C-alpha cells in the first residue's frame, strides 16, 4: 500500500472540522477568569516607519487646506457621519462580561437578552485628550446594547417608530429618534466637576449630520458613526470645549438633520439648561421655554440609608445624594476599579424596576454625587453601587451588587430576592458550562454529586423544605427543576429540560 493511499484513508478517518468555530466565552467561563480592572486606554500606535509619518503629514496638510476653504461647509456634513460595518474586532472578555451581566437579576421582561459573544469594538472617540472606546452588542430581541469603557452605556430594544408621539417637551422634535446622555467630568487636580460630554444614539437612518446647538445660537457639527445591521443605529460621544460650560454658551439641544439639512429630530439637553437665556441683540428669542427647573438639593421628608460606609439621602423632590466619603476599604477599591450607582423604585406594570435607566459613574475623587429622578413616584426602594466585574457561581458577592442600600422594607426584600434569583441563574448557567444540563435521573444525580458534593440538595418533592440560599432540585422527565429560596422565604425555580430552560416559575 502506498503512502498516498494510507494518508488518504487517515484523512477520511477523522472529519476535517472545516468551518467549525468554538465558543470563547465558554473557555473564559471555564477558566474562572474574573473581570480584570477596566481596560487601560490604548495609546495610538506610533507610526511604523518614516514613510507612514510623511504620508500622515501630507494627509494632515491636505485636510488643513480643505478645512480652511469655504468648501468646508459642504464637507462638514459628509464628515459628520461615518458608516461602519458591524464586523470589527471582537470585544475583550471584560466587556463581554459587562454585557452579559446586564441580564443578571432582571425581571424577564426587562432582560435585554444581549448576545455578549457578538459584541464588537466599533470606534474610538477622542475627547478631553483621552480615548473612549465604544463597544456594541446585538440583542436577541432585535435591539442592541452599547457601552463606552469607563463611561457606562445602555440598551435599546427593537425599534418601532410611533405613528404619533404626543406630549414631547417643548423644543423636542421626534425625540424617539435620538438618545442623549450627559456625563460629568472632574476638573483635573480638584474635586470640582462639570458637565463634560454628551453621548448617545441616533436611530434616524437618514441622519447625515448631528449638531450640538448652544444657548448663544451657535452650533457645532459633531461626528457620529452609523453601525450597520444588525445594530442599525448611530453613536456619538462629544467632549464639550471649555468655552461652552457657562450659562449662555452651554449646549441647548442635540439635533439630527438629513443630507438636505432638514431637521429630523431634536432633543433638548435637560441636564444642562436651567433657565432660558436672553437672545443677543438683533436675534430671534430663544424658542425654548423650559417647563421646570431642575432641583439640586433634596427636600424633606427624607429617606435615608447606609451600608458599608456609603450613605444615601433621597428627597421628596426626586433629588438623591450619595456620599462615599466614609466608604469601607472594599467599596473604595470597587470605586477605584470603576463603578456606577443607580436607584430603584416600584411602579408600573412590572412592579419593580430601575426607574430612570439613569446610572452615574462614581469617581474616586468625588465623594458626593447628586442624581435627579424625575417623574418617579416616591418613595425610592433603594440605591446600589455596581462594579464592572464578571460573575460566576459561586459569586463572591452572593449575587448581590457591590453595595445595596435599601430605603424601604420592600426594597430590602427586593435586594434579597434578586440575589437568590441571580444566584440560581448563575448556577443553571454553570450546568450548561459543565455540559450536564441535558442529563436527567440518576445520571444527573451522579453528575451533581461529582461536581458539587452535597451542596446541591435533591428534594423529595417540589414542596419539600429548603434552607434559605440553598439550591435544591426535583426530577422531571428529561431534566430537573432547580429551586432556590431567598432569605425572605420566596422560592425561585428554573426548569431545565433536555438542556433547555423552561419557563421560570415562582411559588411559595
Residues in contact with other proteins by CB under 8 A are: 1, 3, 6-7, 9-24, 26-28, 30-33, 90, 92-93, 435
| Residue number, 31 or 49, with CB nearest to other proteins | 31
Residue 391 C-beta: closest distance to other proteins, Å: 17
Residue 441 C-beta: closest distance to other proteins, Å: 11
Residue 437 C-beta: closest distance to other proteins, Å: 13
Residue 17 C-beta: closest distance to other proteins, Å: 4
Residue 1 C-beta: closest distance to other proteins, Å: 5
If DSSP codes are grouped into helix, strand and coil, which group holds residue 173?
strand
Q: Where are the alpha helices (DSSP H) in 203-361?
A: 329-337
* 386: enclosing H helix or E strand: strand 382-387
Phi-psi region of 499 (alpha: psi -120 to 50; beta: other; left: phi over 0): left
- Closest CA relative to residue 428, chosen from 364, 500, 372, 375: 500
Q: What is the C-alpha R_g of the chain? A: 26
Residue 304 C-beta: closest distance to other proteins, Å: 43
| Residue number, 20 or 158, with CB nearest to other proteins | 20
290: CB partners within 8 A, 6+ apart? 170, 171, 268, 270, 273, 274, 275, 276
Residue 25 C-beta: closest distance to other proteins, Å: 10
- Closest CA relative to residue 202, chosen from 340, 357, 354, 84: 84
State how beta strands 81-84 and 152-156 pair. unpaired
Q: How far is CA 124 from CA 133, 202, 457, in A?
A: 4, 17, 49
| Residue number, 34 or 115, with CB nearest to other proteins | 34
| Residue number, 124 or 466, with CB nearest to other proteins | 124
| Residue number, 122 or 419, with CB nearest to other proteins | 122
Contact 483, 491 (CB under 8 A): yes
C-alpha cell read off for 197:
460630554
| Residue number, 11 or 229, with CB nearest to other proteins | 11
120: Cα separation from own chain's centroid: 14
189: CB partners within 8 A, 6+ apart? none
CB count within 10 Å of CB 188 equals: 9
| Residue number, 379 or 499, with CB nearest to other proteins | 499
How many Cα atoms within 13 Å fall on the side-chain side of residue 160? Answer: 7
Residue 433 C-beta: closest distance to other proteins, Å: 9
State how beta strands 382-387 and 339-344 pair. antiparallel
**DSSP code of 8?**
H
| Residue number, 16 or 454, with CB nearest to other proteins | 16
Amino acid at each position: 500500500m502506498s503512502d498516498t493511499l494510507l494518508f488518504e484513508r487517515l484523512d477520511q478517518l477523522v472529519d476535517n472540522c472545516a468551518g467549525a468555530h468554538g465558543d470563547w466565552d465558554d473557555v473564559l467561563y471555564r477558566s474562572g477568569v474574573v473581570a480584570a480592572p477596566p481596560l487601560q486606554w490604548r495609546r495610538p500606535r506610533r507610526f511604523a516607519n518614516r514613510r507612514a509619518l510623511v504620508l500622515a503629514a501630507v494627509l494632515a496638510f491636505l485636510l488643513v487646506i480643505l478645512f480652511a476653504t469655504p468648501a468646508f461647509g459642504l464637507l462638514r456634513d459628509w464628515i459628520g457621519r461615518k458608516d461602519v460595518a458591524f464586523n470589527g474586532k471582537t470585544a475583550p472578555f471584560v466587556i463581554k462580561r459587562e454585557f452579559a451581566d446586564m441580564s443578571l437579576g432582571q425581571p424577564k421582561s426587562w432582560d435585554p437578552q444581549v448576545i455578549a459573544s457578538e459584541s464588537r469594538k466599533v470606534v474610538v472617540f477622542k475627547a478631553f485628550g483621552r480615548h473612549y472606546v465604544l463597544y456594541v452588542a446585538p440583542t436577541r430581541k432585535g435591539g442592541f446594547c452599547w457601552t463606552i469603557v469607563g463611561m457606562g452605556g445602555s440598551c435599546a430594544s427593537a425599534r418601532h417608530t410611533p405613528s404619533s408621539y404626543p406630549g414631547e417637551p417643548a423644543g423636542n422634535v421626534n425625540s424617539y429618534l435620538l438618545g442623549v446622555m450627559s456625563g460629568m467630568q472632574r476638573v483635573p487636580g480638584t474635586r470640582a466637576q462639570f458637565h463634560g460630554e454628551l453621548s448617545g444614539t441616533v436611530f434616524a437612518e437618514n441622519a447625515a449630520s448631528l449638531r450640538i446647538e448652544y444657548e448663544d445660537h451657535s452650533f457645532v457639527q459633531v461626528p457620529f458613526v452609523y453601525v450597520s445591521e444588525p445594530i442599525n443605529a448611530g453613536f456619538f460621544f462629544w467632549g464639550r470645549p471649555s468655552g461652552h460650560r457657562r450659562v449662555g454658551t452651554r449646549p441647548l439641544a442635540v439635533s439630527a438633520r438629513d443630507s438636505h439639512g432638514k431637521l429630523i429630530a431634536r432633543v433638548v439637553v435637560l441636564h444642562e439648561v436651567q433657565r432660558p437665556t436672553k437672545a443677543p441683540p438683533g436675534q430671534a428669542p430663544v424658542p425654548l421655554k423650559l417647563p421646570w427647573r431642575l432641583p439640586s438639593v433634596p427636600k424633606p421628608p427624607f429617606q435615608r440609608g447606609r451600608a458599608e460606609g456609603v450613605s444615601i439621602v433621597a428627597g421628596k423632590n426626586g433629588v438623591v445624594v450619595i456620599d462615599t466619603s466614609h466608604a469601607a476599604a472594599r467599596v473604595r477599591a470597587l470605586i477605584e476599579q470603576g463603578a456606577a450607582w443607580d436607584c430603584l423604585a416600584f411602579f408600573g406594570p412590572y412592579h419593580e424596576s430601575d426607574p430612570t435607566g439613569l446610572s452615574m459613574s462614581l469617581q474616586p475623587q468625588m465623594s458626593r454625587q447628586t442624581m435627579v429622578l424625575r417623574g418617579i413616584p416616591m418613595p425610592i426602594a433603594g440605591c446600589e453601587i455596581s462594579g464592572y466585574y464578571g460573575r460566576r457561581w459561586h459569586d463572591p458577592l452572593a449575587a448581590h451588587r457591590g453595595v445595596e442600600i435599601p430605603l424601604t422594607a420592600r426594597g430590602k426584600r427586593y435586594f434579597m430576592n434578586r440575589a437568590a434569583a441571580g444566584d440560581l441563574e448563575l448556577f443553571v448557567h454553570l450546568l450548561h458550562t459543565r455540559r450536564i444540563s441535558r442529563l436527567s435521573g440518576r445520571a444527573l444525580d451522579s453528575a451533581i454529586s461529582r461536581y458539587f458534593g452535597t451542596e446541591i440538595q435533591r428534594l423529595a418533592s417540589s414542596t419539600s423544605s429548603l434552607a434559605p440560599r440553598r439550591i435544591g432540585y426535583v426530577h422531571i422527565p428529561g431534566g430537573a427543576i432547580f429551586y432556590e429560596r431567598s432569605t425572605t422565604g420566596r422560592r425561585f425555580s428554573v426548569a431545565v429540560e433536555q438542556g433547555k430552560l423552561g419557563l421560570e416559575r415562582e411559588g411559595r
